[in-house]
Amino acid sequence: MAAWKVRRSTPTYSMNKKYEFGLATLAALEPFRAYLKHEQFSHSYIHQTINYTATFHEWLTGQSLALAQITHADVMEFADHLRQKGFSIKLINQIMRTLRYYFSHLQQEQEIGINPAAGIILKGTVRNLPHDLLTMPEMEALYESYQVTDNRTYRNKVIIGLLVYQAITRDELSHLRPEHLKLREGKIHIPATGRQLGRLLPLQPHQILELHEYLLVIRPKILAERLAERPGRKPDRYKDEQDIERLFISINTLEDIKNSLLHLNYALRKLNPKYKHAKQIRQSVITEWLKEKNLRTVQYMAGHRYVSSTERYKTTNLEDLKEALNKHHPLTLS
C-alpha cells in the first residue's frame, strides 16, 4: 500500500521500497500517466513506467537540467549514473526503452523536437568517458561574456569563475560556507563531500576581488532581501538554519541553488550552444590541467579519491578523446 513519508522536509509518495519520488516529480508526470491510462495499458505497466520515468526526472533535477534541453549525451550520462547505482545492464535497457516511449509521447505533444533516447542500446559495461569538451578559451569566453546587471548575476558570475578555474562540482557549491574563503592567502578551501576529497586551491587575482565584493556587499544584500520578503519571521524559523550560512544563497528560496543553476544553464547555452552543463566544464578543466600538470597534482586539484578517476581524462588532445569514446563506448545507434 502507498505510504506518505517525509524526505528532507519535503513530502514524498513512496511507491515501493525501491522507488520514492517528490510530489513535484509525480505532478510533472501526471499528463503522461493520463495518456497511458487512455491507451488502456495495464495498471502494473503504468506503475513501472512512471517509476522509471520519475527516476529520470529526479536525476534531471539533481543535475539542474531542463527537460526540453536534454541531449543524447545527457541520456548516456543518466545510463552511467544508473550503472554506478548498481542497476544491471538489462534493467538500464528497460529504462531506456521506457524513456524512448516517454520522449516519443512528448514529441507528439510538441514539447520536444527530437527523441534523445532514440537508438540507445547498452552492451556490456557503461563507460563514462569525458566527451564534448570545451577548450579553455571557450570556457573563459563564457565567464567573460556573462553580463553582471544585479545581485543575482553578480552571484552567478562568481559561480562561473569557480567552475572554470577550480572545476568545482554542484554539490561542492552547495557545501561552501563564507569561512572557506581564504582571501588573504588568495585561496579557497573546498570541503570534502561524499564523493570528493577536500582541497585548498589558489584563486585567480580577479576572483579574489569578486569574492571579496560578493562576501561583503552582494551576499548580505541577497540575504536581507530574502528576509524582508518574510516579515515577522526570524532566520531560525527556516526549515534549515544551515541554508542561511551557505556561501551561495538562492534569490527565490534559501533551501539550495539547484533552481539558480538551472537558469544559469539557460543563460550560458545562449552564449555558447556547445555548453551543456556544469559537469562538462569540470571535465574540460581537468583535461586542460593534465596538459600542463602531473597526474598526482591534478588528482588533488580535482578532489579525486582514486588516481584512476583522473587517468581517464588524460589525453594529448580532444581528437584522441573522441577516438577513445568511439572505440570504447558500448552504445549502438539504430
Q: What is the mean pLDDT of residues 116-121?
A: 84
Q: Which domain holds residue 98?
A: 23-109
Statement to judge: residues 253 and 158 lie in one domain = yes
Distance between CA 176 and CA 170 in Å, rounded? 10
Q: What is the mean pLDDT of residues 217-222?
A: 92
pLDDT at 77: 86
pLDDT at 311: 79
Q: What is the mean pLDDT of residues 134-150?
A: 94
Inside any domain, residue 84 = yes
30-69 burial code (b ≥16 CB/10 A, e <16): eebeeebeeeeeeeeebebbbbbbbbbbbbbeebbbeeeb
End-to-end CA separation in angstroms for the chain: 40
Inside any domain, residue 196 = yes
pLDDT at 130: 65
Q: What is the mean pLDDT of residues 173-190?
A: 94
Per-residue pLDDT tens digits for 15-30: 344 668 888 888 989 9
CA 147 vs CA 154, 157, 205: distances in Å:
8, 8, 19
Statement to judge: residues 140 and 105 lie in one domain = no
For all residues of the chain together, what is the average pLDDT? 81
Statement to judge: residues 306 and 159 lie in one domain = yes
Inside any domain, residue 236 = no
What cell does 266 get? 539557460
Statement to judge: residues 292 and 156 lie in one domain = yes
Per-residue pLDDT tens digits for 42-66: 888 899 999 999 999 999 888 888 8
Report the candidate in 58, 49, 66 with the shortest Cα–Cα distance to residue 23: 58
Statement to judge: residues 171 and 307 lie in one domain = yes
The alpha helices in the chain, defined as continuous H runs, are 23-28, 30-38, 43-63, 72-84, 89-108, 136-145, 151-166, 170-175, 205-213, 219-228, 241-244, 258-271, 278-290, 295-302, 307-311, 318-328
pLDDT at 21: 85
Statement to judge: residues 82 and 167 lie in one domain = no
Given a cut of 60, whether residue 250 has pLDDT beyond it is yes
The enclosing domain of 57 has a CATH number of 1.10.150.130
Grade residue 176 by pLDDT with cuts at 50, 70 and 90.
Answer: very high
- Residues of the chain with pLDDT > 70, as a percent, come to 80
Statement to judge: residues 141 and 98 lie in one domain = no
The enclosing domain of 220 has a CATH number of 1.10.443.10
pLDDT at 14: 36
Given a cut of 90, whether residue 205 has pLDDT beyond it is yes
Statement to judge: residues 74 and 174 lie in one domain = no
Grade residue 316 by pLDDT with cuts at 50, 70 and 90.
Answer: very low
pLDDT at 103: 92
Question: Taking the model in full, what pTM does it have?
Answer: 0.60
Residue bearing the bigger pLDDT, 265 or 314: 265
- Residues of the chain with pLDDT > 90, as a percent, come to 42
pLDDT at 55: 93
Q: What is the mean pLDDT of residues 181-186?
A: 95
Statement to judge: residues 218 and 78 lie in one domain = no
Given a cut of 80, whether residue 13 has pLDDT beyond it is no
Inside any domain, residue 12 = no
Grade residue 256 by pLDDT with cuts at 50, 70 and 90.
Answer: low
pLDDT at 51: 92
Inside any domain, residue 90 = yes
pLDDT at 209: 95
Inside any domain, residue 94 = yes
Inside any domain, residue 254 = yes
Q: What is the mean pLDDT of residues 219-228?
A: 83
Statement to judge: residues 83 and 185 lie in one domain = no
Say which range, 63-77, 118-132, 198-212, 261-275, has the weakest mean pLDDT. 118-132
Grade residue 257 by pLDDT with cuts at 50, 70 and 90.
Answer: confident
Inside any domain, residue 57 = yes
Please, which residues have CB within 8 angstroms of residue 292's CB and are 6 or more apart in sequence? none
Statement to judge: residues 221 and 154 lie in one domain = yes
Statement to judge: residues 95 and 144 lie in one domain = no
- Number of compact structural domains in the chain: 2
Grade residue 324 by pLDDT with cuts at 50, 70 and 90.
Answer: very low
